[in-house]
Structure 1
Amino acid sequence: MNALTTDAIVLHAFDYLETSRIVRLLTRDAGVVSVLARGAKRSRARYGSGMDLYAEGLAEISIKPQRDLHNLNNMEITRSRAGLAQDIGRFTAAAVISELVMRFVGEESGPHLFDVASHVFDELAEAPTDETVQTAVAGAWRLVAALGLTPALDICAGCHAEIPAESDALFSHRAGGVLCTKCGALVAGVRRLPASARATISLWLDASRTIQLTDLEQRAHQRLLREFVQEHLSEDRPLRAFHVWERERWGDG
């Protein structure tokens, strides 16, 4: 076995036999890994609150080459993110971020994606109730960008012609962003994206301040994000956390 000590975030955990748990971690140095935490249900001495969802800390892992399940020897928590468990809207939004990471991040991901995910979880843990949805949408777009799928917002994804910032634009999930009128006529399934929505996504991708949105605008951004992710990343598998998050209105206050 190879020893690995790395920053890690708990994405998912479930019981295994009588005393142990299997945990999915996003790590800074090894991407997403599955680990066996022996005795985690019996004693918290080795793991502390390290089995709590979305907690972050320093994990000591024994890596088994050519295996999908490794051993978690110890985890020292540095961020508990208790605020996520105190509000169902925050917790559900965090589940969406976790689903994105577990589904689309492999073992080859690097420190940048870890840092983006960590920052998003931090923001959600502190988000006011009425800003939970847009905080999650903004964070999810930054994760999508970190995965190399930044949508084209200022130039046509087809011919690279500049799209005026003040203009509404055609948007194609399949093309990967906005299209000019000429290119949009050649692509099926385009939708009109208001200039204000383009500007909002651009600000989110730049990690700018929270934008004040109406409930209808938040719903539209949730739908746009989910459709984009489904087109590029989902492999026709349902995004269960996304669907729960879209259906409920916990973040409305």
Structure 2
Amino acid sequence: MPVYKAEGIVIRRGNLGEADRLVTLLCRDQGKVTAAAKGARKPKSRFAGRLELFSHVRVLLAVGRTLDVVSQVEVAAAFAALRENLDRLAYAALAVELADRATADREPAPDLFRALRTALDLMQTGDPQMIALWFAAQLLVHSGYAPTTDRCQVCGRSVRSGAAFSYALGGVLCGTDQHRDPDAVIASAGALRAIGYLLHVQPEALARLVQVGGLLQGYAEYRLETKLKSPLVIQKLLKTGTPTPTTSARGGARERGNGGTRTR
């Protein structure tokens, strides 16, 4: 039975038979691969704790008729912190679900693999919501669906205010061309800047923002002699400067008009 090596992230798990585990990996070189781990659910299995959701693993896979079979597993990064906190767990689960739905079997996606690896790593200590939004933006970029945020998708003119965002057309519409999509939603200039920032920011810059947030929150807690319930310090400080995903992506009040549901 031919075998091959793969490096991937566990993006989905399920049960197979009475004692086996079905795992789906987003692999760096092979793309999305689903394989069976024989006996993985047994208490003394050699795979115990090695094929957990979110784990970055190196595996040896044997080619099977219908499913490949996991022969060996080495954990490169367990990302255990993501499974120990409900917020981190929820946003990490969102990230791997997006990766799963956006990829086809056996289609290499090395850039998406690296983005997911980076996102899961940063989520261990950073704001999971901000990082999940960044990953969603990167997924759109690597999938070829990055929206336009500064120029009208129809006429190409620069758009700074009074814009609408069209899901169907893939970006922003100026006031003149908003009629092209009756279902387009009103988007503030701040929200569009935030989306543009997420589409282009590098992981190193994102990591610095995460660190800045932690430092400012820690300092505020020390001076105020209290423990903040929510890590909102960085979002408030950056509201008038570089837009943050948590602040901008929430949008405002929604209203229903002739063109459908819109956000003010």
**After TM superposition, is the score higher than 0.5?**
yes
User: Which residue does the alignment assign to 1:132?
Assistant: 128
Taking a change above 3 Å as real, the CA distance of residues 154 and 26 of structure 1, as seen in their structure-2 partners, is same
Q: 2:112 matched to 1:113?
A: yes
**SS at 2:113 equivalent:** helix
Deviates more, 1:102-111 or 1:172-181: 102-111
Shift of residue 214 of structure 1? 9.2
Q: Is the 8 A contact 1:22 1:36 kept in 2?
A: yes
Aligned AA for 1:10?
A: V
| TM-fit CA distance, 1:216 | 6.8
SS at match of 2:53: coil
2:93 and 2:99 mapped to 1: Cα distance?
A: 10
Instruction: State the 1:171 CA deviation.
Output: 0.7
Provide the residue aligned with 2:41 in structure 1. 41
Q: Distance in 1 between matches of 2:180 and 2:25?
A: 43
In structure 2, what residue type is equivalent to 1:70? D
Aligned to 1:174: 168
CA offsets 1:96-153 (integer angstroms, 9 cap, x no match): 11111111201213211111111111122222xxx32222112111112111110111
- Post-superposition offset of 1:215: 6.7
Shift in alpha-carbon separation, 1:183–1:13, aligned structure 2, 3 A: same
The equivalences for 1:67-216 within 5 A come to: 67=66, 69-106=67-104, 107-127=106-126, 131-164=127-160, 167-207=161-201, 208-209=205-206, 210=209, 212=235
In the alignment, structure 1 segments of 5+ residues that lack a partner are 224-253
1:236 is matched with: none
Root-mean-square deviation over aligned CA pairs: 2.3
Cα distance in 2, alignment partners of residues 214 and 145 from structure 1: 17
Q: Does 1:220 align with 2:214?
A: no
Q: Which amino acid aligns with 1:88?
A: L
Could you tell me how far 1:87 is from its partner in structure 2? 0.8
Paired residue type of 1:58: R
Shift in Å, 1:44: 4.2
Mapped to 1, the partners of 2:41 and 2:185 lie a distance apart of: 50
CA deviation string 1:197-248 (max 9, x = no partner): 1111122122343472597745339x9xxxxxxxxxxxxxxxxxxxxxxxxx
Q: How does 1:232-243 map to 2 (within 5 A)?
A: none
- In structure 1, C-alpha distance between the alignment counterparts of 2:108 and 2:251, rounded to whole Å: 30
Secondary structure in structure 2 of the residue aligned to 1:126: coil
Query: Secondary structure at the residue paired with 1:14?
Result: strand
Shift of 1:5: 0.9
Paired residue secondary structure (1:18): coil
Assess if the C-alpha contact under 8 Å between 2:22 and 2:35 holds in 1: yes
**Partner residue in 2 for 1:58:** 58
Label 1:206 to 1:215 Cα distance change in 2 as closer, same or farther (>3 A). closer
Q: Matched residues in 1 for 2:180 and 2:100: separation?
A: 35
Give how far 1:92 is off.
0.7
Distance change in 2, residues 1:21/1:178 (3 Å): same
Greater RCO (CA < 8 Å, at least 6 residues apart): 1
Query: Does the CA-based 8 Å contact 2:8-2:57 persist in structure 1?
Result: yes
Query: Which of 1 and 2 has greater Rg?
Result: 2
Contact 1:3/1:63 (<8 A) preserved:
yes
Q: TM-score, normalised by structure 1?
A: 0.77
Q: Secondary structure at the match of 1:188?
A: coil
- Map 1:6-21 to 2 at 5 A: 6-21=6-21
